[in-house]
Structure 1
Amino acid sequence: MVGSRPQGCGCGSSPTSSSSSQLLPPINPQQSSDLTQYIELDSDIDPNDENFKVLECRNLLIVGIYGPAVVIAVKRSTRKLVWSTRLDTNNRSFITMSGTYHRGGFYVGTSSLEEGLPVDQCCTFRGSLSKLDVRTGSVTWQTYMLPDNLGKMGEYAGAAIWGSSPSIDVSRNLVYIATGNLYSVPLRIRRCQEKENNLAVPTQPDQCIEPDNHSNSILALDLDTGVIKWHKQLGGYDVWFGACNWHLDPRCPPGPSPDADFAEAPMMLTVYVKGVKRDIVVAVQKSGYSWALDRDNGTIEWSREAGPGGLGGGGMWGGATDGRRVYTNIANSQKKNFTLKPSENITVAGGWVAMEARSRNILWSTADPAMATASGPLTVTNGVVFGGSTSSQGPLYAMNAKTGKILWSHDTGATIYGGVSVSDGCLYLGNGYKVFVGIVWNYTAGKSIYAFCV
């Protein structure tokens, strides 16, 4: 399952300043498939101009919109459209992750709302990662996470790429991503899983996971070509979509269907274990499990259950790291018993967890005092971790990175589902979340942007 949080990448300063808070007129690129009706094309911009090549994305705001899966680049000072590129022809495709800019390229994944379709209409979408040329918006390469289904239902579908931002490893020339669950599988895989379900002890390795099935996986792709250099499947068989979660239907695929997406991209860090340097990537699943993999080959360095999983997480949208610790939210969307390790205290709220990066040990766990889910991504800076609550009061919490102690909080008045941005001594945060994605959460709409400055 995917969430729905359209993202953007600001390649330079934003259209507001911390001193003036002056807003440019808003635009709504979702109101028409013809984006030029709502964003004036800038005739002065020549993508082939040498000055533009030098500036690359510093003058642009690059945004993936809610749907269809279109990326647009607008001139950040004037809102004028420079280019727009559609990355998927599926009408239910959209973009929810923040892209990453690197040396003239913009790396971004595609997601989908097909999981909300009836059984007889699901599904054909395949998740993909694309590299766009920021000068023109042209697609340099696009790599799909599943075999081609030729647009036919009853084949492989799913494996969305939908949380946080791809990580760029310059020294290895790699980009790291993680993927979501399957929506559908071929008949041969359904039959395979039915046999597995009848075994007293499942086969190892999983016989129903084919080599080109990159669902629930962490992958490393070549920056220049998009070729998959290594991949690690960490979810097993996982075919989930809404109609089969809420209604019994003989046409539904066999379980298990844990919906154990990776809802975030892997984070890069370097640790030293007994004096030996280890370059790793770490990501947390909606299952609540965190995984650390070797950056060279994808072998598992460690794994740890940080907290309970659920349809809405588990880990959601993005963790954070300062190199020594890995921080994650645990949304606890299904209000399970959540043991706040290393203590034995239990909550049914969401919360936040810190793990030692080199050992996987849980250092602290902090529950949301508002007793709501903790679904938004985390930010860590200057020894402070920032996380928000989906409570209708919309509290933002600042936590001590070493201990998890809440240093201060501020109620924004509406659900916090997004993350905190930090720039020039200020924190920026928007409140409110009311997008319907087939599951109804008790979230509240908001209309404010907050700045906290020191």
Structure 2
Amino acid sequence: MPISERASKRALGKRAVALVAAVSSVVLLAAGAPAASPHRSGDWATWSKDAAGSRYAAAEWRITPRNVHNLKVKWAFAFPESSAPVRSQPAVVDGVAYFGGPDGRFYARDAGTGAERWTTDLSGVVPGARPSIPWDSPSVSGGRVYFGDLRGFVYSLDQGTGRVVWAKQVDAHPAATVTSSPIVHDGKVYVGTSSGENANNSPDGSTDDPNYPCCTFRGHVDALDARTGGLVWRHYTVPEPRAVGTWPSGATRYEPSGAGVWSSPVVDPHSGTVYVGTGQNYTGSAGDFDTMLALDHRTGAVKWRNQVTKADTWRGLCNSPDPEGYCPGLKDGSALDYDIGATPNLFTVGGRRLVGVGQKLGVYHVFDAATGEVVWRRQLGVPLPSGGISGIQWGTSFDGRRLYIATYFADPGKLFAVDPATGRVLWETPNPADGCTTGGAAAHPEICSLGHGPAVTSSPGVVWEGSNDGKMRAYSARDGRVLWTYDTVRDFTGVNGLPGRGGTISGGGGGAVVADGMVYVQAGYAPDYPNPGGGDVLLAFGL
């Protein structure tokens, strides 16, 4: 075929693809889905796919319900062996996948082949006692890559070279951490800060010390200047902790504290509003804990707040053999821990702008986006004693027609399709019962469970969700049938030459990423399956 003819056919093909994407966009906007981002339609540039938190790959036309069963691993990337779990969901932009590793490095790899573009070692950027582990998903915007780390820093890297443009510590507390994936809008980087101070009774959350004067961390949402990293505004979720007495051990007691911001904010550019959820108190009972916040994107001023749990004071000692005195909300042997750890969804129903969010209690809440008025609520998971691990953990998806919501340790976890107008359950599919008796998980019944930790993702006709049983699954968006299953609990050799093995599909802030005919999945989150001599893996699937 002559070169000119080949070029003509390629151009025709590109025009056809563009037409398909344009038609898809028109249909989605009519159905109430968010408007397109400034990126290519096939890109997945931020944790939630777009500013509205849809986690919906609207332009995906290659992978369909009819051919999804043909997906195969195209390449694997194996991380060096590490005690930290993998949790940095990739961003995929202009044919490059950007992601962090538990080894303290940040990677840019060819999205189709896994070939190296660049690698940045973060360990020497700002030396410190805790490692510089990327702890969330990056956002790619304006030629920069933005992400946070385990020790409370936010970074901006050059998209083309990986050069560190700036690194800013958003919180100097020894236990501060950034699990909130940043979102970029109007020249600002919006990001939340949480901490590990609640996990145990110690400054950095690594040990259990009854003599530690707990607790002093305050959650907050920040707007940083995207160019310089300078702080534009900050909203603290609790008042400044003050000494109010002593613990049973004699250590000083501080209240209130906590209300960390675990998840990524979303932004409505039309109203200029940032929406984000918060976690529970560590001590005391005050502030914006377990709250949906609507903040002015220019100033951080509160437009409205809706607190969905009226008392929720919890930390690791609530699960100790003798928690009395440490957990004032403890009743009948149970405390709460009902964070809003999930990222919200913005959508429109009947001309009314709504914002919805899942809670670890197992409830999905929907509010009027302008006023905060409750529109509907739906209980999808039954809470377990002393910890909301049976509810909705990290995030949900909206495809313009349905909300897709998963529950975690709900015996078993389930995947739901829900009517966005009323909360009516359209279908529900339990984590398949053979999840722990087939594949690599079958050898580890003491580890395996039927729960959905990751955020839910959708693409036209397909819903994507992984499980603690180490399996990634594709479900029919129409009726919830399982269309494809891949067991990741097996050995891989990475394109980087290292051995790796999959495991629990990454929770802790991530889920499947669907971009340009490929699906990207991090495998190896806690609970860990035995993996002697190897690390966790990023898997890239294609047809």
TM-score, length-scaled by structure 2 = 0.66
Of the candidates 320, 323, 330, which is equivalent to residue 397 of structure 2?
320
**One-letter code of the match for 2:197?**
E
1:16 aligns with 109
Deviations 1:180-226 (A, max 9, x none): 111001xxx5xxxxxxxxxxxxxxxxxxxx5xx11001010000001
TM-aligned CA deviation for residue 350 of structure 1 = 1.7
1:29 aligns with 2:129: no
Of the candidates 438, 460, 471, which is equivalent to residue 395 of structure 1?
471
Q: 1:255-270 maps to which residues of 2 (within 5 A)?
A: 255-256=329-330, 257-270=335-348
8 Å contact from structure 2 (residues 85, 524) kept in 1? no
SS at match of 1:161: coil
Of the candidates 134, 153, 159, which is equivalent to residue 259 of structure 2?
159
Deviations 1:35-80 (A, max 9, x none): 8xx99xxxxxxxxxxxxxxxx93322111011x1100111233221
The whole-number CA distance in structure 2 between the counterparts of 1:243 and 1:374 is 25
**One-letter code of the match for 2:422?**
S
1:233 aligns with 307
Cα 1:117–1:382 change in 2 (3 A) is same
8 Å contact from structure 2 (residues 451, 467) kept in 1? yes
1:96 aligns with 179
1:87 aligns with 2:170: yes
Identity among equivalent positions (%) equals 30
The whole-number CA distance in structure 2 between the counterparts of 1:7 and 1:144 is 25
SS at match of 2:378: strand
**One-letter code of the match for 2:141?**
C
8 Å contact from structure 1 (residues 289, 306) kept in 2? yes
The whole-number CA distance in structure 2 between the counterparts of 1:153 and 1:390 is 37
| Larger deviation, residues 23-32 vs 361-370 | 23-32
Measured on the aligned residues, the alpha-carbon RMSD in Å equals 2.5
Cα 1:11–1:450 change in 2 (3 A) is closer
| Larger deviation, residues 142-151 vs 216-225 | 142-151
**One-letter code of the match for 1:396?**
M
1:422 aligns with 514
The whole-number CA distance in structure 1 between the counterparts of 2:219 and 2:382 is 26
The whole-number CA distance in structure 2 between the counterparts of 1:100 and 1:316 is 19
SS at match of 1:279: strand
The whole-number CA distance in structure 2 between the counterparts of 1:76 and 1:114 is 33
8 Å contact from structure 1 (residues 218, 233) kept in 2? yes
TM-aligned CA deviation for residue 443 of structure 1 = 5.1
2:102 aligns with none
2:231 aligns with 139
TM-aligned CA deviation for residue 105 of structure 1 = 1.0
SS at match of 1:114: coil
8 Å contact from structure 2 (residues 463, 476) kept in 1? yes
Of the candidates 425, 431, 440, which is equivalent to residue 368 of structure 1?
431
TM-aligned CA deviation for residue 11 of structure 1 = 8.8
The whole-number CA distance in structure 2 between the counterparts of 1:114 and 1:30 is 23
The whole-number CA distance in structure 2 between the counterparts of 1:320 and 1:238 is 27
Of the candidates 276, 284, 292, which is equivalent to residue 177 of structure 1?
276
8 Å contact from structure 1 (residues 179, 214) kept in 2? yes
The whole-number CA distance in structure 2 between the counterparts of 1:63 and 1:83 is 11
Cα 1:306–1:31 change in 2 (3 A) is farther
8 Å contact from structure 2 (residues 265, 276) kept in 1? yes
TM-aligned CA deviation for residue 34 of structure 1 = 2.7
2:135 aligns with none
Q: Which runs of 5+ in 1 are unaligned?
A: 40-55, 190-209, 337-347, 435-440
**One-letter code of the match for 1:416?**
I
RCO (CA 8 Å, sep 6+): is it higher in 1 or 2?
2
Cα 1:443–1:304 change in 2 (3 A) is farther
Of the candidates 285, 306, 325, which is equivalent to residue 251 of structure 1?
325
The whole-number CA distance in structure 2 between the counterparts of 1:326 and 1:147 is 35
SS at match of 1:244: helix
TM-aligned CA deviation for residue 19 of structure 1 = 3.2
8 Å contact from structure 2 (residues 89, 522) kept in 1? no
8 Å contact from structure 2 (residues 219, 261) kept in 1? yes
The whole-number CA distance in structure 2 between the counterparts of 1:4 and 1:317 is 16
8 Å contact from structure 1 (residues 61, 76) kept in 2? yes
1:42 aligns with none
